[in-house]
């Protein structure tokens, strides 16, 4: 079938009552940016009764739009005059071209101006195709499903549906800051936050100042940009902080202390940028720093809401998502981050806040401000 446009369907946002207009504007804008990123070329986007029509002939336009959060599915389509004769002729050309063993017609009226009901269109067009070609009609499990969306200004014929990523358009839920380690988990956590409409900025605490933009971290940002083209990445160097911890804190507490410093720095950046939450890739019980006792002590240092989208996932489930979104292969590349560097042989699993606060008195507070000052963009 020749493609003259793409039909883009969106789900959840249609339910959001008063915010609907804002959600649709954001979704349209995000689709535009994704098409630009993917080099689809100029195209106009119109809204027709709860879906968008992209006037794009590029065969990759539908899969590009399907990667935009908020989109439930996209179909390459052919727009024709909304007249029964034209619909029959176009459908006949498709069925002759595909030569399926069975087919069905699935019409839907996007507005009620078309004079026939969708059932009448199914029967009339289906009967005509059967008579012309002798092909079998099969309502369940047909090899070819000819979709016909009927609108005032045209009929849209399509035969393929690319599943969209779902969720909410990035931006509608506000900004968040994702603690981004470059491991397997945090890119998945960032993806899930994007999926719920959060405008995510990635924050990486960097150990090795001689390598200010590590290939692995930059590559992961690029992978996530496939879902949010303008995703930002910030680096904060932690070399001096790590040294201070090695000098002044018992080894078993160092990771917890460092994670509290992460929380303080991230909270400051949230207030500065208007981000409303910190997102992390923590998972209950996966590593020593992630016992509920330790997470409580770590959270106490945060000045904003902390969200842990992976709290209840098994590692296998996280890896499945990492593979699906394309981050896994990059995540498993060898890399020394500040947490590996400080990892003790016997980490504390039941940190106690009073003890931790006592050790913190020995640490150099000014290093936090200094690290913030040395932050830079990726
Ligand atoms: P991940 O696979 O995301 O690294 P993990 O299971 O290895 O997670 P930790 O290394 O304890 O667990 O880290 C838990 C979370 O702390 C990470 O998911 C991330 O949100 C944050 N984090 C750890 N190291 C860094 C870092 N260097 N920069 C930014 N955030 C970090
Ligand atoms: Mg890690």
pLDDT score at 42: 84
Determine, yes or no, domain membership for 84: yes
CA of 342 to the centre of ligand 1 (A): 13
> How many other CB atoms sit within 10 Å of the CB of residue 126?
20
Ligand 2 centre from 365 Cα, in Å?
Answer: 25
**pLDDT tens, N- to C-terminus, the chain (378 residues):** 889 999 999 986 655 667 888 899 999 999 999 999 999 988 999 999 889 999 999 999 999 999 999 999 999 999 999 999 999 999 999 999 999 999 999 999 988 888 899 999 999 999 999 999 999 999 999 999 999 999 988 999 999 999 999 999 999 999 999 999 999 999 999 999 999 999 999 999 999 889 999 999 999 999 999 999 999 999 999 999 999 999 999 999 999 999 999 999 999 999 999 999 999 999 998 777 789 999 999 999 999 999 999 999 999 999 999 999 999 999 999 988 766 767 777 888 898 999 999 999 999 999 999 999 999 999
- Domain check: are 159 and 230 in the same one? no
For residue 5, what pLDDT is reported? 97
Residue 338 lies in a domain: yes
Which of 163, 196, 221 represents a domain boundary (last residue)?
A: 163
Question: Do residues 287 and 341 share a domain?
Answer: yes
In a domain, 168, yes or no: no
Distance CA 128, CA 137 (A): 11
282 lines ligand 1 (CB under 6 A): yes
Centre of ligand 1 to C-alpha 340, Å, is: 10
Q: In the listed set 132, 163, 194, which residue is the last one of a domain according to the structure?
A: 163
Tell me, yes or no, whether 169 lies in a domain.
no
Element (H, E) at 219: helix 215-224
Q: Of the ligands numbered here, which is closest to the C-alpha atom of 217?
A: 1
- Ligand in nearest proximity to the CA of 371: 1
Give, for ligand 1, the residue of 184, 186, 316 to mutate: max count of ligand atoms closer than 8 Å to Cβ. 186
117 and 27 within one domain: yes
Considering the domain architecture, whether residues 136 and 182 belong to the same structural domain is answered as no
CATH assignment at residue 178:
3.40.50.620
Residues 140 and 272 in one domain: no
Predicted local confidence at residue 13, as pLDDT: 60
State in Å: Cα 354 to ligand 2 middle: 26
Determine the structural domain holding residue 137 and report its residue range: 5-163
The answer, yes or no, to whether any atom of ligand 1 lies below 6 A from the CB of 171, is no
Q: Is residue 252, in this structure, part of any structural domain at all?
A: yes
Q: Ligand 2 center to residue 266 CA distance, Å? A: 17
Give the number of the atom of ligand 1 that is nearest the alpha carbon of residue 186.
3
User: Do both 286 and 183 map to the same domain?
Assistant: yes
Which of 281, 334, 375 has the most ligand 1 atoms within 8 A of CB, as the residue to mutate?
Answer: 281
Decide if 258 is inside a domain: yes
Q: Is 350 a member of any domain?
A: yes
Same domain, 189 and 318: yes
CATH number at residue 122: 3.30.2130.30
* Contacts (Cβ under 8 Å, ≥6 apart) of 225: 37, 231
The number of folded domains in the chain is 2
- 338 CB near ligand 1 (under 6 Å): yes
In a domain, 212, yes or no: yes
Q: Does residue 251 sit in the same domain as residue 295?
A: yes
**Which residue's C-alpha comes closest to atom 13 of ligand 1?**
282
Give the ligand with the smallest distance to the CA of 288. 1
Residues 153 and 217 in one domain: no
- Tell how far the Cα of 92 is from the centroid of ligand 1, in angstroms: 56
| Separation CA 41–CA 61 (nearest Å) | 9
Contact 78, 156 (CB under 8 A): yes
| Last residue of one domain, picked from the residues 111, 137, 163 | 163
> Ligand 1 atom 22: the closest Cα is on which residue?
181
Q: Which of 339, 342, 351, 375 has most ligand 1 atoms within 8 Å of CB, for mutation?
A: 339
- Asked whether residue 57 falls in the same domain as residue 90, the answer is yes
Q: Where are the beta strands (DSSP E) in the chain?
A: 5-10, 45-48, 51-54, 71-80, 102-109, 136-137, 144-150, 155-158, 162-163, 174-179, 198-206, 232-237, 277-279, 305-307, 376-377
Q: Which ligand is nearest to the CA of 282?
A: 1
Both 218 and 338 in one domain: the answer is: yes
CB 279 within 8 A of CB 200: yes
Same domain, 153 and 249: no
């Amino acid at each position: 079938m020749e493609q003259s446009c793409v039909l883009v369907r969106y789900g959840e946002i249609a339910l959001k009552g008063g915010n609907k207009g804002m959600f649709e504007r954001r979704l349209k804008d995000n689709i535009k940016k994704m098409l630009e990123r993917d080099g689809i070329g100029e195209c106009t986007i119109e809204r027709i009764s709860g879906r968008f029509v992209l006037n794009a002939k590029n065969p990759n336009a539908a899969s590009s739009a399907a990667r935009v959060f908020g989109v439930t599915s996209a179909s390459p389509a052919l727009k024709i005059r909304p007249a029964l004769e034209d619909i029959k002729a176009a459908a006949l050309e498709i069925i002759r071209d595909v030569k399926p063993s069975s087919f069905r017609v699935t019409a839907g009226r996007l507005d009620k101006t078309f004079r026939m009901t969708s059932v009448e269109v199914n029967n009339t067009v289906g009967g005509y195709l059967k008579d012309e070609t002798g092909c079998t009609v099969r309502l369940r499990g047909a090899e070819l499903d000819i979709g016909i969306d009927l609108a005032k200004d045209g009929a849209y014929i399509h035969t393929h549906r690319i599943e969209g990523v779902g969720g909410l358009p990035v931006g509608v839920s506000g900004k968040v800051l994702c603690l981004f380690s470059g491991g397997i988990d945090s890119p998945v956590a960032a993806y899930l936050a994007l999926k719920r409409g959060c405008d995510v900025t990635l924050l990486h605490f960097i150990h090795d100042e001689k390598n200010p933009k590590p290939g692995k971290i930059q590559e992961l940002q690029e992978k996530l940009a496939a879902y949010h083209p303008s995703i930002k990445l910030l680096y904060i160097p932690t070399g001096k902080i790590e040294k201070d911890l090695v000098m002044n804190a018992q080894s078993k507490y160092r990771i917890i202390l460092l994670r509290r410093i992460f929380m303080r720095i991230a909270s400051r950046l949230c207030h500065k940028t208007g981000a409303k939450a910190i997102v992390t890739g923590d998972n209950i019980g996966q590593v020593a720093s992630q016992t509920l006792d330790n997470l409580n002590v770590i959270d106490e240092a945060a000045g904003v809401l902390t969200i842990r989208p992976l709290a209840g996932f098994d590692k296998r489930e996280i890896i499945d998502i990492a593979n699906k979104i394309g981050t896994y292969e990059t995540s498993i590349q060898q890399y020394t981050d500040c947490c590996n560097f400080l990892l003790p042989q016997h980490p504390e699993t039941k940190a106690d806040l009073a003890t931790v606060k006592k050790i913190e008195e020995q640490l150099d507070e000014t290093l936090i401000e200094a690290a913030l000052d040395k932050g830079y963009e990726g």
